[in-house]
Amino acid sequence: MKNICKLTNLYPIVCLIVAALLINGCGKEEAPEVVVAPAEVKVEAPVEKKPVAKLPNLGTDAEDYYTFGIDAIKEGNFTLAVQAWEKAVEINPEMVKVYNYLGRAYYTQGMIEGAIDAYKKAAELDPANPQSYINLGIAYRYDDEYELAIEELNKAIELNPLSALAYDEIGMALIKLEKNDEAIAAFNNAIAIDAKFPQPHNNLGVIYLMQGRSKDADNEFKKFEELMKEKDAKQAKIMGGASH
């Protein structure tokens, strides 16, 4: 009031009117309606789906599908390769080599049950081939079926007593069964058969560490590293020679 009526030349009545307007407002006005703009809807561009590779019709020759699968694997297309090989054994259920490839493809993709079934079929059709039992044993080990793995790997050793890989795989299954002394014997057998085979030394190192034999473990790990370097150098030499 004091500030409003500061000017003396204003009539008192005017001051009173102005004061009343300031205190009470010029009548109650409705609050203006707040219009909320709808949020902008982002329309995402549709994700372009890659066309699923479809197996072509190659006729009724299982060998054609087998070869097609090999070519597909070279291009990194496991799905198409599997389709081709499944078609091959559908046409010729006794095509052993296809089951081995199928097993490897399933195994690579983590389809262990499929790998086991394929390797079982390969061993059934070619019981004199130790590699079929090794493949089956490895698949069983990855499926935590350690006793079954050892059983199949022993079948491979019966057929080929000089299979360092089979002994090494038996050793790894025995570790899982906490039969460390037997595992050590298996790894030493693998080393005796193939002195250039790196993996048994690494596995021995692991057991020795668990047993508190740190010095023995260090020796095995060093041997493993040496053999791996030799293996890599040999592989590089082969690859280098292939390019000339």
Residue 42 tokens, joined:
């982002």
Lowest mean pLDDT among 113-117, 121-125, 229-233: 229-233
- In this structure, which amino acid lies at residue 234? K
What Rg do the C-alpha atoms of the chain give, in angstroms? 39
d(CA 190, CA 226): 17
Residues 174 and 150 sit within 8 Å (Cβ to Cβ): yes
d(CA 133, CA 204): 24
Residue 115 tokens, joined:
């790998």
Tens digit of each residue's pLDDT (9 = 90 or more) over 181-216 = 999 999 999 999 999 999 999 999 999 999 999 999
- The listed range with the strongest mean pLDDT (9-23, 74-88, 209-223) is 209-223
CA-to-CA dists, residue 6 to 18, 26, 29, 30, 102, angstroms: 12, 22, 29, 33, 101
Residues 57 and 82 sit within 8 Å (Cβ to Cβ): no
CA within 13 Å, CB half, 201: 19
SS3 annotation, 108-129: HCCCHHHHHHHHHHHHHHCCCC
Return the residue matching tokens 């089956």.
Answer: 136
Burial of 4 (0-12, 13-18, 19+ CB in 10 A): middle
Tens digit of each residue's pLDDT (9 = 90 or more) over 144-164 = 999 999 999 999 999 999 999
